[in-house]
Structure 1
Amino acid sequence: MHRKVLCLCVVLLLGYADGQAGQQMLNKLACIDHQECGACLSAAPHCRWCADPYYNAPAPRCNDDLSLVQSGCSQGLIQRPLPALWEVVANNTLQDVQPDSLDHVVQIQPQSIRLSLKPRETRKVKFSYRPAKNYPLDLYYLMDLTWSMKDDKDTLVNLGDALTVTLSNLTDNFRIGFGSFADKPLMPFISVDEKRLANPCAMEEHECEAMYNYRHHLSLTDQVKDFIENVNKSAVTANLDNAEGQLDALVQVIACGNRIGWSAHSRKIVILLTDGSIHTAGDGKLAGATKRNDGECHLDDNGYYTESIIYDYPSLEQVYRLLDKYKVNVVFAVTDSVKSYYDNVHQLLEDFTYVAKLESDSSNILKLVKMGYEDIVSVVNFKDDSSNGPVKVQYFTNCGVKGGSMMETTKCTGVEYGMTLNYEAHLTLDSCPEYKKITQKIRISESQLGQDSLELDVELQCGCECEGDQIKDMLLNCPSNSHLVCGVCQCNKGWSGPMCNCSIEDEAASAALEAQCREPNATRTIACSGMGDCRCGKCQCDRGFSGRYCQCKDCERSIENGMECGGAERGTCVCGQCSCAPGWLGSACDCPTATEACRAPAGGDVCSGHGTCECGRCKCDSSGPDGKYSGMFCETCATCKNPLCVNAEPCVSCHLNNTCTDLCTIGDFNYTVTERLTDTDTLKTGEVACILRRENEDGQDCEYKYTYSAATKSMISMEIVIRSKNCIGALRAKLMTSALVIMACVVAVGMIVILIYKSAQIISDRRAYAKFVQEAQESRMHMQELNPLYISPISEFKMPEAYNRDKMD
């Protein structure tokens, strides 16, 4: 017993040792292929680098810890991965707006974190966001003051106290400003008649202001009366077309931050009221405004846009970038006639715009202000600038639902004040952009505001701590133009090549080396045809290209065998083109010129006379006297008899009679016959169904369904698979058995029903008799009581008193 236990222990120890050895070997293989320190430490967590310049062991410098120590590398010069870094730098608690100052508003927590990332590593950063109550609102009315909007201006003047109440219900901290727009004062947008230049509304017999593009009337203020006064003083103008200069005006409102008075800490909203469509980039060139819109502020002392006749209208892309840069939201309050048009504009500016239907006289403007504000503040969407570096960021959040699961999204809708949103930012570094320690700064902010943010300093641990080797005597062992880095020689800046003898900074030498990588007498002037890198005068081609100058693409591969140009027997690759051997055609030399592959095993014409042979395959006629033909050799149709089925029947019969092997030969053709009766799947590509009816040994009429598929090998012309067998005799026996079983079941069920019925009847009779006996006993016990249903058979007759009784005596 003790010996068995001892043997078992020895076996387990040996197995464990083998497993340990196998694991150590895998660890070594993951490391030993790397030739630089940064690449070594990035390969796997257990990889180490020996930075000892005197390391002369045959073992690689990149290895596991134990192997390097055993190979003689000094412990102090073994480079190991840096420890993980995680430091919360700023973590102020969430706080609403204070009455005295906006500096203490905190909507995102924490605010700053330092962390590290290794290649192929993901780290989670949790943060919370809560919209602050009474966050400042800067609301700018940008109004279309062309003639068709005259009534809307009067409506805005009459708002008065109602506007104050509406804004006060949204936030305690609000400011309001006003500006107007029309169109560029250039032909063909205006009339050049002198009278209409001075008074564009002359045709309407009304006095109005000369045409202008945009005018800033009132900077943002908390005095609503000043707003009403400036709206009242503004005058309408008129142009010729229905499209206006909204985008010109919008760019000035966004870019002229100091003139408009935008606050650094506020929610910025522009209410744009109009009933016209938009002029976009390119339209200004019709009037001579040919310069591309620069997106800068150009307002004079009176608030007019001065460069309107010089710069073209901005594009929607330019407007989107400005909205994103300055975090401004726009509510398009438009009439029903142009709402669908602005819906399309909104799809292009979706993150910063909203569309609302404006009544013809702007009577519902206050309602639109409230709805637009609520729609804007109810959406929280986070963005970052991680695209500037190699770190990828994914966002997960519960959108403020208590106990809700985290889902991958950056946007939450239906957010209310006091609701805290929990987020997780998953930071991933797939690979190192270069093998040195660098830091990427990532700023995560809410897209609508942008003032509050989470700053991440991400240290990419892709390098080593041994770049400053100062061992002068070892420099003698390095080639010229190189220096020692982590124990190995690396080329100085401006030099390359195995021996660091290829100058990159020397323009003459570099040009001479690069000239060797250019194809002579070629129209291309790019080194290595742009499909490779020039290394010391020699091209290193990208995958898929070859040749001295990487000027040749790889040739096509045959679909049939996957070989380039179909293999050596079919063709050879000559600088991207297949040179086919005799008997083969096509771009990959996979089309035989012979037509033998298109002849059926039973012989006959090419494609059975019902098609053409193309690239070794039959292309069947789509119509014929018997309908559409199909099959590998166009041998069958819906109404004709398949000659291959007829030709295969002897082999199927031979197989069923057990008088031949699975290989059957008829004439010059071979057939293989197999039987898979359980295979009832649909026909595969290239298979054709046939039916054979014959009598078996028991005298039953049987129907065999089989399929054939012609093979491409010369030794096997056709493969036959018998898939089903159905004999009539067996079917009758099954039917008879089934009938008897059904009859027996019917009789049994009938008997059971009768027994149940009789049993129920007997039980019912017994219950009635018992009840009768009980009632009789109770009647005897109460004889003195008369039965109310009893009628006595004795009757009495009383003689009348007046009757003479004596006569009867």
Structure 2
Amino acid sequence: MYVPVFVILCLLFVKFENGNCQAQQMLNKLVCIEHDECGACLSAASHCRWCADPNYNTGAPRCNDDESLVNTNCSQGFIQRPAKPVWNVVENSSLQDMRPNSAENVIQIQPQRIQLSLKPRETKKISFSFRPAKNYPLDLYYLMDLTWSMKDDKETLVSLRDDLPTLLKNLTDNFRLGFGSFAEKPLMPFISTDSRRLANPCSVEEVACEATYSYRHHLSLTNQVSDFIEHVNSSSVTANLDNAEAQLDALVQVISCGDKIGWATHSRKIVILLSDGLMHTAGDGKLGGATKKNDEQCHLDERGYYSDAATYDYPSVAQMYRLLDKYKVNVIFAVTESVKNHYDSLNQLLEDFTYVAKLESDSSNILKLVKTGYEDIVSVVDFHDDSSSGPVKVRYFTDCGVKGRPLIEGTRCTGVEYGMTLNYEAHVTLEACSDFKSSTQTIRISESQLGQDALTLEVDIQCGCECSNSVQEVVTPMCPANSHLVCGVCQCNKGWSGPQCNCEIGDENASAELLAQCREPNATRSILCSGAGDCLCGKCECDWGYSGRYCQCKSCEVSSYNELECGGVDRGVCVCGQCACEAGWVGAACDCPLSNDTCKPPSGGEVCSGNGDCVCGSCECTIAQDGSKYIGKFCETCPTCENPLCIHAEPCVSCHLNTGCTDSCTIGNVNYTVIERLSNTEDPYSSDVMCIFRQEEGSLECEYKYTYSPVQSESGIEISIRSKECYQPTSAMIMTSGLVIFGCVIAAGLIIILAVKSGQIVSDRRAYAKFLKEAQESRRNMQELNPLYISPISEFRLPDSFPRDKND
């Protein structure tokens, strides 16, 4: 059945001089005839067909195009063709906010269920929307540390009996409260085993308190705030020895005991955990004899106590993540400053479901923490799916609810508010068939923190054949042992291989005949499987990146557009290392369209506005006469010339600003959509072209900067007004500028005169001071330093013994 490679190459290049068209036809045939199974044949390319006639001439390929199979006497009734594509929107209910007493009717994602089909290397785009519902039910469970150090915090919570319902009503009209407490495993060394302290662990404080327990459920979720306050008030503190408690033990029970806690199916589930201590994790429980791994199950007795705390170890962080993700529960860790770093580290591992806040020593700011924690949780939207269990992969693109913003790849959006509609686009891809059998994969796309609303994709994976029973009932030659008839040919059973299905896979004693079947005939180097695979029972198992019967073909180039080989099933197929492109596509990876439509401006005109060449669907601009280069998607403008697309869009901008017309506007045969996104900051996601529109508004002249999207979508070409700056008209500006300049000249002159005069005064003072100094120096030198100088002054003194008149 197999056609030798050298014959195929001869067919490929025969009469090549007649043109590339014949070469392309040969490539299209080659992509089919190299396959010897029905599923692989139909998955190879859209034009490949399979002859399922058991009595078909075995000298001709069973996998070929329709015309060739008919010419080789394959009956039309036995020709297997690819299944028809499937696309069916099964459920598409509109988005619906919360209505009184109808939580089950809330719809936050649209559509809800789609049936589709995928062939190998095929991608289908699915658009869906998400809008957070107003007044969505809130189930808030208070999980409180009731060890001795937290005794004052319980009293603070009781004192908030009036403020608590007011706060929650500001968040949502539909809320319920529950209450539970935790302490420590009642095991040594976590508690004292002294009989007196077992009964009353607070005996050292000479106060009576409850015996130590791991977790206790006090109140199931209810909308009666008075019941909540009553249960908090009636709860009793306990004590333990160390500064670490059983927070994770308690969380497992709160999350997994849904029927006893009272979690609603449609609600946002939040646990607020109050503590001033560290937490025990997996392994710590073995110190006290709790050696069994935590089973993540509910173990509450009739009194609400965790009954198996002494049996099961503390859960691990990985177990907590799985539980939070499975039950869609969020946790707010309200902890004191002394242990906040410890919980911050935990939050880094559970970031999708936890929030850490600083709790005052007396819990006085608990209401504020509830509000900020709730707002932080609901402001994040993140989508996950379960596609990892099958061959189909999903990529996400979103605008995060920003109107006019282009879709960027990602699943997580922050800053989401009620009323915002987030638009998503899921790219669903089947890269290759893992097994050439038709199958179905169900993918559930849901918001990571809620999970109740979801988009379900039922994907038909079209990798196999559906040969009818009439085909199988035709009288055929007997198949050899260890084989069975499949679509007209004998195929080996699982675990067997070889031409006669007599070679057991894993048998290393392969004969020379089987090894010879792994060598390419007439090849210059007779190497098993071309050195790129292993020979198993006469059949090559190729390494990654190689294909063909003898692993002689390398993989084809991957398109940068969708990261699929040869651009995907709609653009081309890989034929022994070379892409055979579908009509309308060329290039090494079939990523260049033959049409120049993508290079023509939406307002009409020449390709690339006559200022460039269309290369692979994009414009390469030329140099303008003044030496500058044309720019823009369509080479429509340059630094010294007007942008024709801006001029073409100006009437719609003027209509939107002046006459209050609708956002839609049509000029010629082009539809425009005008939106306002006034901001002085540049949008990092925008690659659109900037234009300027000026108009007078009263006594001011305003300048609007706007961008246009050069690609026309379903709603038309988008015009986005980015900024607005207003100033006085030109004449007034000239007069004002003249007065300002005149005033500046006078002020500058006065400043210069004052500066010169001040300089002269300072200079004169310095010269006079220098003169005085020199004169003093001259006199001193003349009097003291000249040896010839004789003073003209003589001095006479009377002796002291000379008699004096006493009247002198």
Assess same fold via TM > 0.5. Answer: yes
Which whole-Å deviations, capped at 9, do the CAs of 1:749-793 have from their partners, x for residues lacking one? xxxxxxxxxxxxxxxxxxxxxxxxxxxxxxxxxxxxxxxxxxxxx
- Aligned partners of 1:130 and 1:417 also within 8 Å: yes
What does residue 193 of structure 1 align with? 194
What does residue 407 of structure 2 align with? 406
Match for 1:395: what amino acid? Y
- Secondary structure of the residue aligned to 2:323 is helix
**Distance (Å, rounded) in 2 between the aligned partners of 1:440 and 1:259:** 35
Instruction: After TM superposition, list the pairs within 5 Å mapping 1:621-700 onto structure 2.
Output: none
- Aligned partners of 1:185 and 1:309 also within 8 Å: yes
Which protein, 1 or 2, shows the higher relative CO under an 8 Å CA cutoff with sep ≥ 6? 2
- Aligned partners of 1:482 and 1:492 also within 8 Å: yes
**Distance (Å, rounded) in 1 between the aligned partners of 2:187 and 2:179:** 24
- Alignment gaps of 5+ in structure 2: 1-14, 511-531, 545-808
Cα distance change of structure 1 residues 483 and 475 upon mapping to structure 2, 3 Å threshold: farther
Instruction: After TM superposition, list the pairs within 5 Å mapping 1:143-292 onto structure 2.
Output: 143-292=144-293
What does residue 340 of structure 1 align with? 341
- Aligned partners of 1:275 and 1:337 also within 8 Å: yes
Instruction: Kindly state the Cα deviation for residue 194 of structure 1 after the two structures are TM-superposed.
Output: 2.1
Say yes or no: does 1:116 pair with 2:125: no
- Secondary structure of the residue aligned to 2:325 is helix
| Deviation larger for 471-480 or 276-285 | 471-480
What does residue 487 of structure 1 align with? 488
- Aligned partners of 1:469 and 1:485 also within 8 Å: no
**Distance (Å, rounded) in 2 between the aligned partners of 1:40 and 1:285:** 58
What does residue 430 of structure 1 align with? 431
Cα distance change of structure 1 residues 192 and 36 upon mapping to structure 2, 3 Å threshold: same
Match for 2:161: what amino acid? G
Which whole-Å deviations, capped at 9, do the CAs of 1:101-155 have from their partners, x for residues lacking one? 1221111000000000010011001100001111100000000001111111110
Cα distance change of structure 1 residues 115 and 287 upon mapping to structure 2, 3 Å threshold: same
What does residue 420 of structure 1 align with? 421
- Aligned partners of 2:347 and 2:354 also within 8 Å: yes
Instruction: Kindly state the Cα deviation for residue 482 of structure 1 after the two structures are TM-superposed.
Output: 2.9
Instruction: Kindly state the Cα deviation for residue 483 of structure 1 after the two structures are TM-superposed.
Output: 2.9
What does residue 72 of structure 1 align with? 73
**Distance (Å, rounded) in 1 between the aligned partners of 2:472 and 2:158:** 83
Instruction: Kindly state the Cα deviation for residue 393 of structure 1 after the two structures are TM-superposed.
Output: 0.4
Larger radius of gyration: 1
**Distance (Å, rounded) in 2 between the aligned partners of 1:193 and 1:57:** 89
- Aligned partners of 2:152 and 2:362 also within 8 Å: yes
**Distance (Å, rounded) in 2 between the aligned partners of 1:442 and 1:78:** 32
**Distance (Å, rounded) in 2 between the aligned partners of 1:471 and 1:336:** 75
Cα distance change of structure 1 residues 210 and 57 upon mapping to structure 2, 3 Å threshold: closer
**Distance (Å, rounded) in 1 between the aligned partners of 2:500 and 2:162:** 83
Which whole-Å deviations, capped at 9, do the CAs of 1:388-445 have from their partners, x for residues lacking one? 1000000100000001010111111111111100001100101011111111000011
- Secondary structure of the residue aligned to 1:195 is helix
Match for 2:275: what amino acid? T
- Aligned partners of 1:30 and 1:44 also within 8 Å: yes
- Secondary structure of the residue aligned to 2:299 is coil
**Distance (Å, rounded) in 2 between the aligned partners of 1:373 and 1:365:** 12
Instruction: After TM superposition, list the pairs within 5 Å mapping 1:720-759 onto structure 2.
Output: none
What does residue 128 of structure 2 align with? 127
User: May I ask how many residue pairs the two structures share in their alignment?
Assistant: 509
**Distance (Å, rounded) in 1 between the aligned partners of 2:541 and 2:495:** 22
Match for 1:355: what amino acid? V
- Alignment gaps of 5+ in structure 1: 1-13, 505-512, 518-530, 545-809
- Aligned partners of 1:475 and 1:483 also within 8 Å: no
Instruction: Kindly state the Cα deviation for residue 308 of structure 1 after the two structures are TM-superposed.
Output: 0.6
Instruction: After TM superposition, list the pairs within 5 Å mapping 1:48-87 onto structure 2.
Output: 48-56=49-57, 58-87=59-88
**Distance (Å, rounded) in 1 between the aligned partners of 2:299 and 2:110:** 39
Match for 2:386: what amino acid? D
Match for 1:87: what amino acid? N
Instruction: Kindly state the Cα deviation for residue 26 of structure 1 after the two structures are TM-superposed.
Output: 1.1
Match for 1:161: what amino acid? D
**Distance (Å, rounded) in 2 between the aligned partners of 1:84 and 1:131:** 34
What is the aligned-residue identity percentage?
Answer: 71
Cα distance change of structure 1 residues 55 and 158 upon mapping to structure 2, 3 Å threshold: same
- Secondary structure of the residue aligned to 1:458 is strand
Q: TM (normalized to structure 2)?
A: 0.61
Instruction: After TM superposition, list the pairs within 5 Å mapping 1:563-642 onto structure 2.
Output: none
- Aligned partners of 1:468 and 1:485 also within 8 Å: no
- Aligned partners of 2:144 and 2:182 also within 8 Å: yes
- Aligned partners of 2:471 and 2:487 also within 8 Å: no
Instruction: After TM superposition, list the pairs within 5 Å mapping 1:359-508 onto structure 2.
Output: 359-466=360-467, 468=469, 470-472=471-473, 474-492=475-493, 495-501=496-502
**Distance (Å, rounded) in 1 between the aligned partners of 2:212 and 2:448:** 37
TM-align CA RMSD: 2.3
| Deviation larger for 480-489 or 308-317 | 480-489
**Distance (Å, rounded) in 2 between the aligned partners of 1:57 and 1:366:** 81
- Secondary structure of the residue aligned to 2:103 is coil
- Aligned partners of 1:147 and 1:238 also within 8 Å: yes
- Secondary structure of the residue aligned to 1:426 is strand
Instruction: Kindly state the Cα deviation for residue 479 of structure 1 after the two structures are TM-superposed.
Output: 2.0
- Aligned partners of 2:78 and 2:471 also within 8 Å: no
What does residue 310 of structure 2 align with? 309
Match for 2:25: what amino acid? Q
**Distance (Å, rounded) in 2 between the aligned partners of 1:107 and 1:543:** 46
- Aligned partners of 1:57 and 1:71 also within 8 Å: no
Match for 1:246: what amino acid? Q
- Secondary structure of the residue aligned to 1:475 is coil
Which whole-Å deviations, capped at 9, do the CAs of 1:706-736 have from their partners, x for residues lacking one? xxxxxxxxxxxxxxxxxxxxxxxxxxxxxxx
What does residue 28 of structure 2 align with? 27
Cα distance change of structure 1 residues 371 and 424 upon mapping to structure 2, 3 Å threshold: same
Which whole-Å deviations, capped at 9, do the CAs of 1:374-401 have from their partners, x for residues lacking one? 1111111111110110000001000000
